[in-house]
Every structure is written in structure tokens, then in C-alpha cells.
Amino acid sequence: MDDTILITFANQKGGVGKTTLCAIFANYLVKKGCPVMIVDCDAQQSIKERRKNDLLVYGGEDMKLPYEVISFDISKTEQLLVFIENLRQSRGIVLIDSPGTLDLQGLVILLASSDFIVCPFHYDKTTIPSTVSFIALVERIRNEMGKRMSAQLILIPNKQDPRVGKRDELVLWDETREAFSNYGIVTPKITVRADMERFSTISDLDNQLEIVSPAFDVIYKEIFGTTESLIK
């Protein structure tokens, strides 16, 4: 692959799985043979910190890493466009973990510059309205930018608990899926699983790729037109 593809994980709601899915998607892409890097733009620096700890656990400074993790403070809006321009010179897929906030000019610039915006959400009383506001923000930016913005919105229903959900709740969820699909691609659900509570930036953990594959295959297919691995 020659082009750089920028994928931003975003939703102003915290706890929906932006950081977790960003890191696990990197592991998924490595398995597929894609060159990938992560830009950690969250103030909490969870992925950057995880990488530091992974290095301590898995081995020395000189070990070969599956991908690079760098960080950037998107509140530095004057430097952000140059930073994104530089990212576009790198090879492969750049995954960006964004902070959970809406009132950030930096986030708007990031979203406008992305090729894909991946928005995890789950079905609960506060997350759905927050996700609706996020979708509305993306639409506003789209209207303002016109043809200059080409980002495809991908919505991932995450932390789905298959045991809960009364009949009328299930109907509501289906309606949400249908409504959201007017604005982006809604992937298959990712279930809530203890295996998903941790992630590694060096080796993929047991069972994780199996859990996320139905959803991630949809994104992969959008990028490459196939779910086939790049490694022959």
C-alpha cells in the first residue's frame, strides 16, 4: 500500500472503547500485514503508557516492535496541520486515539483531516444521546468543509451484553442501528468480554482478535476492498 490512511477513534463520551479498540485494531492490522502506527492524542496517554509497560514486561529497549506509538497534544492547533501533513508522509495506516471532548478545535481539525472516523458506542441512556451529538458534529464539519472532507464514519456498537435487553430494548437498539446507518457504516457488535479489558501494544492477547474481527473486517474491507491479508 502506498497511500497513508488516517483513522481517528472518536466520540466525546468516555468509556465507550476508543482507546481499547484503537490499540486492538493496530494488533489486528499487524496480523494482516499492514504497516501501522498509533498517535496517542489523549491526555491520559493510555496507549503510550501501555507501550512503556509492555517494553518492561516483554523485553529490552532494542526489541523489534510491531508498530510505533507516538503522542501529540491536539490543543496545539497551530502545529496540528503541519503534524498531520507529516503523518501523511509516513507509510501505511495511522491510528489516532482522540480525547473524549467536543469543545476542542483540535478535534475538529483532526476529524476533518481523517480518512475514517471510527466511533465506538454502546447502548445506554447517556451514551446514545452523546453519540448522536457526535454524529451531528461530524455532519456539521462535513457541511462546512464540503468536498474537502472525505472521512467515512464507522460506528461500532461495543460492549454489547448479550444477556441483557428486554424485548422493547432490543427493538430500540435495532432502531438506533437503522438511524445511525444513515450517517455511517454500523459494524457488527463487539460483545462485552473480560478478554477485552486489557490490551497489549506488543503481542495480541488471547481471543481478542476473534472477538473484534467481525467489526474490524468491515473497516478493513472499506480500506482494501477485501478481507484478505496483505501477506501472501
Ligand X SMILES: Nc1ncnc2c1ncn2[C@@H]1O[C@H](COP(=O)(O)OP(=O)(O)O)[C@@H](O)[C@H]1O
Residues near ligand X, by CB under 6 A: 14-20, 100, 158-159, 190, 192-193, 196-197
Closer Cβ to ligand X, 194 or 231, answer by number: 194
Does 32 engage in binding with Mg ion (CB under 5 A)?
no
Closer Cβ to ligand X, 177 or 224, answer by number: 177
> Which grid cell is 67?
508498530
Closer Cβ to ligand X, 100 or 106, answer by number: 100
Closer Cβ to ligand X, 29 or 118, answer by number: 118
When CB distances are held under 5 to 8 angstroms depending on the partner's kind, the choice from Mg ion, ligand X, none that residue 103 binds is none
Shortest Å, Cβ 190 to Mg ion: 16
DSSP letters, the chain, are --S-EEEEE--SSTTSSHHHHHHHHHHHHHHTT--EEEEE--TT-HHHHHHHHHHHHH--TTSPPSSEEEE--TT-HHHHHHHHHHHTTS-SEEEEEPPS-SS-HHHHHHHHH-SEEEEEE-SSTTHHHHHHHHHHHHHHHHHHHGGG--PEEEEEE-SB-TT---HHHHHHHHHHHHHHTTTSEEPPP-B--GGGS---SSSPPTTHHHHHHHHHHHHHHHHHSS---S--
> Per CB under 5 A, which of residues 39..98 are in contact with Mg ion?
42
**Is residue 221 a contact partner of residue 227, using CB atoms and an 8 Å limit?**
yes
- In the set 11, 12, 19, 176, which binds Mg ion (CB under 5 A)? 19
Shortest Å, Cβ 148 to Mg ion: 28
Closer Cβ to ligand X, 37 or 215, answer by number: 215
Interface with Mg ion (CB under 5 A), residue total 3
> Which grid cell is 225?
476492498
Shortest Å, Cβ 203 to Mg ion: 21
When CB distances are held under 5 to 8 angstroms depending on the partner's kind, the choice from ligand X, Mg ion, none that residue 209 binds is none
Shortest Å, Cβ 146 to ligand X: 29
Does 18 engage in binding with Mg ion (CB under 5 A)?
yes
